Amino acid sequence: MLLNGKEFSKKLKNNLKIEVENLKKETNQTPGLTIILVGNNPASEIYVRNKVKDATNCGINANLIRFDETISEQELIDEVIKLNNDDTCHGLIVQLPLPKHINEQVIIDTISPDKDVDGFGILNKGKLFSGLESIESATPKGIMKLLEEYNIDPKGKHAVIVGRSNIVGKPMAIMLLNKHATVTICHSRTENLSEITKQADILVVAIGKPKFITKDMVKEGAVVIDVGTNRVDDKLVGDVDFENVDPITSYITPVPGGVGPLTIASLLENTVIAFKNAINFKN
Max intra-chain CA distance, the chain: 57
Residue nearest to ligand GUN (CB): 96
For residue 219, indicate whether it is catalytic: no
Binding-site member from 34, 95, 134, 253 for ligand GUN (CB under 6 A): 95
For residue 51, indicate whether it is catalytic: yes
Q: CA 198, CA 218: separation in Å to the nearest integer?
A: 5
Residue 93 vs 186, nearer CB to ligand GUN: 93
Q: Is 64 in the site for ligand GUN (CB under 6 A)?
A: no
List 54, 95, 211, 219, catalytic entry: 95
Q: Is there a contact between 48 and 77 (Cβ–Cβ < 8 Å)?
A: no
Q: Rounded to the nearest 5°, which phi and psi values hold at 157?
A: -85, 155
Q: Is 206 in the site for ligand GUN (CB under 6 A)?
A: no
Sign (positive or negative) of CA dihedral 47, 53, 57, 61: positive
Q: CB-based burial of residue 11 (10 Å sphere; 0-12 exposed, 13-18 middle, 19+ buried)?
A: exposed
For residue 74, indicate whether it is catalytic: no
Residue 93 vs 224, nearer CB to ligand GUN: 93
Contact letters (x/-) for ligand GUN, 108-127, by CB under 6 A? ----------x---------
Sign (positive or negative) of CA dihedral 205, 207, 208, 211: negative
- 122: part of which helix (H) or strand (E)? helix 122-129
Q: Which stretch binds ligand GUN (CB under 6 A): 63-71, 88-96, 197-205, 236-244?
A: 88-96
Give min distance, CB of 130 to ligand GUN, in A.
22
Q: CA 227, CA 162: separation in Å to the nearest integer?
A: 10
Q: Which stretch binds ligand GUN (CB under 6 A): 69-77, 90-98, 173-181, 252-260?
A: 90-98
Binding-site member from 62, 138, 193, 262 for ligand GUN (CB under 6 A): 138
Q: Is 52 in the site for ligand GUN (CB under 6 A)?
A: no
Residue 137 vs 197, nearer CB to ligand GUN: 137
Which amino acid appears at position 149 of this protein?
E
Q: Is 93 in the site for ligand GUN (CB under 6 A)?
A: yes
Q: CA 273, CA 31: separation in Å to the nearest integer?
A: 9
What is the DSSP-derived secondary structure letter of residue 39?
S
Contacting residues toward ligand GUN, per CB under 6 A:
93-96, 118, 138, 263
Catalytic residues: 51, 95, 118
